[in-house]
Amino acid sequence: MNISRIRQMATQGDMSTNALRYLLDCHGECEHLDFKETIELDSDYGCACFARDVLGMKNVGGGYIVVGVQDKTWTPIGVGSRMLFDTKLLRDKVRKGAGLEIEVDIVQHEAFISGAFRLFALILVRSAIKRSKLRVPSVARINFKQNENWGIRQGDIYVRIGDSTKRIESDVELQNLLDDLEARYQEEELTQANAIPSPFAIESGLFRLLPREYATFVGREKYKSLLRKAVEGDPRALVQ
């Protein structure tokens, strides 16, 4: 699992099938990735749980919730049928549970897994791109079933720590978390700055496209010949 890549995908708003496949292949959770076997929003308890998870993920820089993955084993089993949730409904649930307007989006993709097409829901929790804004976390603005141990209280701050959503208990705890995030992002930037530049003009998801100036290929003469014959021999192929 590459946590930096997951966070970058979330920042870019990647909700493609390729993004789903990459996340399923992670076989584990982190601050920016949460797997769920199913999601239930009709009850107050389900609404509160979802609002907490969204709020916690937003406060660490955004990420994904993938629905259709078995808990603990991370087995991609899919959901039985298309879920009756859309972006508006999800945002309404967060507003109901926490009194906040948070950008939450959902798409549903089919992926061929273990010999069958399986349906998954991919939920993206968006967050501020600028790191400075992470220093001002989103705070619950309303009380929602505050007398229940699973309820949300006005002023609560939630974050993702590892694979769990946790309520911040003190200013010191919040400051330590934000310092850790800042250090991680600085380390990521340093690593990227020292990395060897990619030769590809496009490197997104599973796509790798060389720039126009690459006119020759090295090796695999047999396959080059077969590929050329396949392309030139197909009248439907348009080559410019």
Per-residue pLDDT at 240 exceeds 60: no
Tens of pLDDT, residue by residue over 23-56, are 999 988 999 999 999 999 999 999 999 999 999 9
Ranges of each domain in the chain? 3-194, 202-232
Per-residue pLDDT at 87 exceeds 90: yes
From the centroid of its chain, how far is CA 218? 37
Look at 32-46, 92-106, 116-130 and tell me which has the smallest mean pLDDT. 116-130
- Residue 193 CA: distances (Å) to CA of 36, 224, 231: 35, 35, 39
Other CB atoms within a 10 A radius of the CB of residue 128 amount to 15
Per-residue pLDDT at 217 exceeds 70: no
User: At CA 31, angle to CA 25 and CA 33, rounded to 5?
Assistant: 35
Tens of pLDDT, residue by residue over 52-77, are 999 999 988 899 999 999 988 889 99
More confident site: 181 or 39:
39
Q: Which residue type sits at 12?
A: Q
Per-residue pLDDT at 193 exceeds 90: no
**Hey, what CATH topology would domain 3-194 get?**
3.30.950
- Residue 208 CA: distances (Å) to CA of 14, 31, 92, 215, 219: 16, 28, 38, 16, 18
Cα(119)–Cα(81) distance, integer angstroms: 7
Per-residue pLDDT at 97 exceeds 70: yes
Tens of pLDDT, residue by residue over 137-175, are 889 999 999 999 999 999 999 999 888 999 988 878 777
- Residue 12 CA: distances (Å) to CA of 106, 185, 197: 15, 16, 20
